[in-house]
A and B are shown apart, each in its own frame.
Chain A
Amino acid sequence: MSEAAPVPKRSNGRDRPEAIVVGAGHNGLVAACYLARAGLRVLVLERNAYVGGAAVSRRLFRGFTYSNCSYVCSLLRTEIIRALDLPSYGLQIIPYEGGCTLMRDGGHLALYDNHDALRREIGRHSRRDAEAYDRFMRDMLRHCRFIKPLLLRAPPDPTTLRPRDLRELLYLGRHFSGLGEERMYDTLRFWTMSCADLLDEYFESEIVKAHLAGSSIIGTALGPRSPGTAYVLLHHYMGSIDGTVGAWGFARGGMGAITQALASALRANGGEIRTEASVDRILTRNGRATGVVLSGGEELHAKIVVSNLDVRRTFLESMDAADLPQEFLAQVRRFKIRGSSGKLNIALDGLPRFPAIPPGAPCIRGDMHVTDTIDMLERAYDDWKEGRWSRRPYIDMLIPTQIDPTMAPPGKHYMSVFVQYCPYHLAEGPWTEERRARFGQTVIDSIAQHSPGFRDLILHAEIRTPWEIEKEVGLTEGNIFQGELTFDQLLFNRPIPGYAQYRSPIRGLYMCGSSTHPGGGVMGAPGANSAAAILRDLRR
């Protein structure tokens, strides 16, 4: 049918894309960049009017730029920045100077970049912990060093006898045994531990543990006492692996700056991006991908289709069930994508005051958390389990405008507030305007407890529950990782056992979103790995 359709001007097919990437999130753009660099004609289709997916900077209130989904540039792989030369396309990353956790009793724990300042700071809470922190960071670095080379490799399928899988398994085995006996055991334990148990092996102070445990629950439907959360903690530490401080920081202009740089890199490599092009369906014929249909009915053809959508959206909502093996579909259906996070983007009339933070301390320019103890985080999780937003949520907030004034009018500030936990399914019924407002109020109240006069500074607040995130960004249940980071959905299990190498049951159809190994966060590794798999199949 499409062959008969009128084709514009140069109809010799040179204009037709060789690869279509569905979704212009950071992973879609990374994949597209790598493909374009290898000489493929790439077309990226984006449903929204803007590129970026969940790594965006949006002007939603007069003069304010919101990083309204992801808010910190921590994980973007060095290899990708280097290969795509992103700084040349305008990417500027400004490292954090610190961070802190605010306690209910008015106390605080700050984390500073300087080792001695940090030791003295932790020492205010526990001298022992101040020194145990070095041991903790050494061990985290050891785990990072172990996992780092695995991030940009397709995980091997341990159930096959294909030479490539065996080779990769052998590599994995050698990499593992290179750790030495004791650390092999430590690694085995680490991967299956809960964050709370892990931290108990190092620290005695509740606030130190609570501060560190925050990273173990962000984006997940697990509590700090759930086994497996030690890994989630590591997932948030991987950004600082190679010691380049730039890895943890703000992107100037908001998170959209990253995807804008990627888009520029893509265009420079000859790729094309179409926005407001919503893909309705992925077309297949005889078990092969042939292209996509846009919601307007337009058909676009290409022999390679790469989906940046999460695995459920790709296979359940964008394809005919009849085109896919039943068992595969069943596995897609049980892939766990749970909405557990909310977000507030707040425009402020001035810089809020946090009396707990000593004057001049740089931690206000980093990530500020609100929590007290691991128990408090765990109770916040209990609320989620029962279908409520946390009555005392874990809050991770930042005010990027202190570092990057381009994001707000002079003297005003933008605050990004990440909230854990907020369920997709509310026990009391569907999300409504009123419920969303109450959720927002809970969060604002929590912040206001630590910042007198905070409420009066609010000019505008965008309140985002998992439901809004799903609707706007297209992430199922608003899950920021496109799928839980649990054992059953990591490595060769991610997203589906047997389909962990970016390929799908349909030839020519690939996955490149965070649903695939190594998972979410603005890392770009799934996109890069996916492109590598495609190019290998094309023998490029």
Chain B
Amino acid sequence: MSACRYDCIVVGGGHNGLTCAAYLARAGRSVLVLEAQEAVGGAARTREFAPGFRVSACAHLLHLMPGWLSRELDLPRHGLRMAAERMPTFALSAAAGVLRIDPRTHGAPAGLSGVDARAYPRYAARMNRLAAALSALLEAVPPRLGTGAWRDRLTLLRLGARLRFIGRRDLREALRIGGMCVQDLLDEHFESPLLKGALAFDAVLGTNYGPRSPGTVFTLLYRMAAGTASAHAVAQPAGGLGALCEALAAAARSAGATIRTGVPVASIVLRDDRAAGVRLETGEEFEAGCIISNADPATTFLDLLGAEHLDTGFVRRVAHLRTRGMTAKLHLALERPPRFAGLEDASPGRIVLAPSPESIECAFNHAKYGEFSTLPALEVLVPSAADPTLAPHGKHVLSAVVQYAPYRLAAGWTEHRHQFLDAILALLEAHAPGLRDSVCAAELLTPQDIETQFRIRGGHWHHAELALDQFFMVRPVPGAAQYRAPVHGLYLCGAGCHPGGGVMGVAGRNAAREVLREAA
């Protein structure tokens, strides 16, 4: 038994778990990562979904991971390479043509004219300034309130000062728009439905909200803030996002961490009210000084740990955590490159099919009542265009994020997934004539599929809805917002923690820091 003792065990080898393991191992801890699947990566894995066709399983773009994280862990040395960087966004609409939005530039998108073209630079500049101010918040460990601890006060003061020094006008604007709905914000600045659609899409991507839901300016700023620190802007790693996780795993291993795959953890073992180890589904046990869970909070607390070891009030909060996903993922294996009307070739870029905020809102309407969107909004990527290794020679892979697909379809997913697939394919066909005929295999992941395949309760990309009432000091729930569970020795490091999901890695890094701080 003593041979199996580690300083730290990380449950789950998603990108946050691996990041956390790498940081811990580099600090000299003996670390064991236990991953249920046959390969590491979790929802950021690259999988073969049809013979010869590989695709990033959930997330398919790298645009939120801070550059410093990649540098600190030396990821390029561990094999991380980008197939495409600074990828532009193409907003497509049958009525209004194409807009090309380049990340990180304040220049008006190509294809935009008139008032909007003049308004865009000012809008973009201000939003980027606000996002930059917010990025400090994303990287911080949320403080606790009312404890009087100097560390918490200092964090609050620092963040307060940071906000304060963005200047009075920006601060006023930040305080005003922070809780607004993205549609109202965009209506204040722009007229072009296509531009507004593309920008609104970013705000609602991966959420249970529509452009008219208050709080969506916040989700937009969140995404932009996380993006400001990214080294490559919007990028596609060579080999898919799985390659990133491989690099993280390599970084962890080279620092001395042990990674085991294909070993699902059944439970977290307590001794004297302290997390002291884990038990695998096979019954095998490992001991450790502390356990860090990359699983979502609901799974960690209710399944792995068990409500029995927690207080009722805390369990009540966990049970009320909004964890239901609303986003589906589509993978298509294509015989030939897709040709989107208005785009030259299958250029390496992100294609957004959301012709207007109203169309997104309309798609959202269905989802509120347990129906899938008949005209969904899509983020489409042809990863094989930049990275031919993902598909057999001459063939292509299409990867699309689909809004909205409710976790619980009133009519039942098993019976109706084909109708949904049909609706998406019809939409794609309308923008890329001939695409439908070239499909040789398709995989549609509904939130329920994401739940079962990646062991994320509710199938939400962010593990828990990313909204103001589940953010920062109250994420995932009060009492566990500092990566620390109420049980000694148990930590969280997944997307359910601050700052949330998306392939960012900050939660993993912050959790590692908290573990090290405790032990120090």
Contacts and interface: CB of A to CB of B under 8 A. Distances in A.
A and B touch in the complex (CB under 8 A): yes
B308 to A, nearest CB: 21
Contacts of A192: 179, 215, 467-469
B188 A375 contact: no
B517 interface: no
Given A181-B145, A225-B368, A375-B368, A159 B168 contact: yes
A181 B469 contact: no
Contacts of A488: 176-180, 184
Contacts of B114: none
Nearest to B467: A227
A190 to B, nearest CB: 8
Interface in A451-506: 486-488, 492-493, 497-498
A188 B474 contact: yes
Contacts of B368: 225, 375, 378
B473 interface: yes
Interface string B177-216: 1111100100010000000000000000000010011110
A16 interface: no
A192 B180 CA distance: 11
Contacts of B213: 225-227
Interface of B: 144-147, 168, 171-173, 175-181, 184, 188, 209, 212-215, 320, 322, 361, 365, 368-369, 467-470, 473-474, 478
Contacts of B188: 334
A185 B178 contact: no
A497 B145 contact: no
Contact of B369 (A181, A186, A222, A375): A375
29 contacts: A159-B168, A159-B172, A160-B168, A181-B146, A182-B478, A185-B478, A186-B478, A189-B474, A192-B467, A192-B468, A197-B322, A225-B213, A225-B368, A226-B213, A226-B214, A227-B179, A227-B214, A227-B467, A228-B214, A375-B368, A378-B368, A385-B361, A486-B214, A487-B178, A487-B215, A488-B176, A488-B177, A497-B172, A497-B175
B180 A227 contact: no
Contacts of B212: 226, 385
A256 B176 CA distance: 35
A179 B145 CA distance: 10
Interface in A163-218: 177, 179-182, 184-186, 188-190, 192-193, 197, 200-201
Interface residues of A, number: 38
A255 B144 CA distance: 47
A487 B188 CA distance: 16
Chain B CB within 10 Å, residue with most, of A181, A226, A487, A492: A487
Given A336-B184, A488-B177, A492-B175, A382 B146 contact: no
Contacts of B365: 382
A487 B467 CA distance: 14
Contacts of A179: 146
A189 B469 CA distance: 4
A222 B474 contact: no
A139 B213 CA distance: 25
B320 A201 contact: yes
B472 to A, nearest CB: 9
B496 to A, nearest CB: 15
The 10 closest A-B pairs by CB, nearest first: A487-B179, A192-B468, A185-B478, A181-B146, A189-B469, A227-B215, A497-B172, A228-B214, A192-B469, A488-B180
A487 B473 contact: no
Nearest to A330: B188
A184 B144 CA distance: 10
A125 interface: no
A190 B469 CA distance: 7
A158 interface: yes
Contacts of B171: 158-159
Nearest to B144: A181
Nearest to A181: B146
Contact of A197 (B146, B181, B184, B469): B469
B147 A181 contact: yes
A431 to B, nearest CB: 22
A244 B468 CA distance: 34
Contacts of B467: 192, 227
Contacts of B144: 181
A127 interface: no
Contact of A177 (B146, B184, B209, B322): B146
Given A181-B147, A197-B322, A222 B214 contact: yes
Nearest to B477: A185
Contacts of B468: 192, 227
Contacts of B473: 185, 188
Interface of A: 158-160, 177, 179-182, 184-186, 188-190, 192-193, 197, 200-201, 222, 225-228, 334, 336, 375, 378-379, 382, 385, 486-488, 492-493, 497-498
A486 B145 contact: no
Given A378-B369, A493-B175, A497-B176, 16 more contacts: A158-B175, A159-B168, A159-B175, A181-B144, A189-B469, A189-B474, A192-B469, A226-B212, A379-B369, A385-B361, A486-B179, A487-B179, A488-B177, A488-B179, A493-B176, A497-B172
Given A227-B213, A379-B369, A486-B214, A185 B320 contact: no
A492 B176 CA distance: 9
A375 B367 CA distance: 11
Contacts of B177: 488
A177 to B, nearest CB: 5
B172 A498 contact: yes
A335 to B, nearest CB: 11
A181 B479 CA distance: 10
B180 A487 contact: yes
A160 B168 CA distance: 8
Contacts of A190: 469
A336 B212 CA distance: 13
B365 to A, nearest CB: 5
B166 to A, nearest CB: 10
Contacts of A188: 469, 473-474
A125 B100 CA distance: 55
B145 A177 contact: yes
A165 B175 CA distance: 16
A357 B177 CA distance: 45
A370 to B, nearest CB: 20
Most buried by B among A225, A334, A336, A488: A488
A493 B365 CA distance: 29
Nearest to B217: A488
Given A375-B369, A382-B365, A180 B146 contact: yes
Contacts of B361: 385
Contacts of A497: 172-173, 175-176
A228 B320 CA distance: 18
Nearest to B213: A226
Contacts of A189: 469-470, 474
A182 B365 CA distance: 34
Nearest to B145: A184
A220 B146 CA distance: 34
A220 to B, nearest CB: 10
A227 B146 contact: no
- Pick from B184, B214, B361, B473 the residue with the most CB of A within 10 Å: B214
Contacts of B470: 189
A487 to B, nearest CB: 3
Nearest to A183: B146
Given A158-B175, A201-B320, A185 B474 contact: yes
Given A159-B168, A336-B184, A385-B212, A227 B469 contact: yes
A186 B172 CA distance: 25
B175 A184 contact: no
Contact of B145 (A185, A336, A382, A385): A185
Contacts of B209: 227
Contacts of B322: 197
A131 to B, nearest CB: 14
A382 B371 CA distance: 15
Contact of A228 (B145, B215, B369, B478): B215
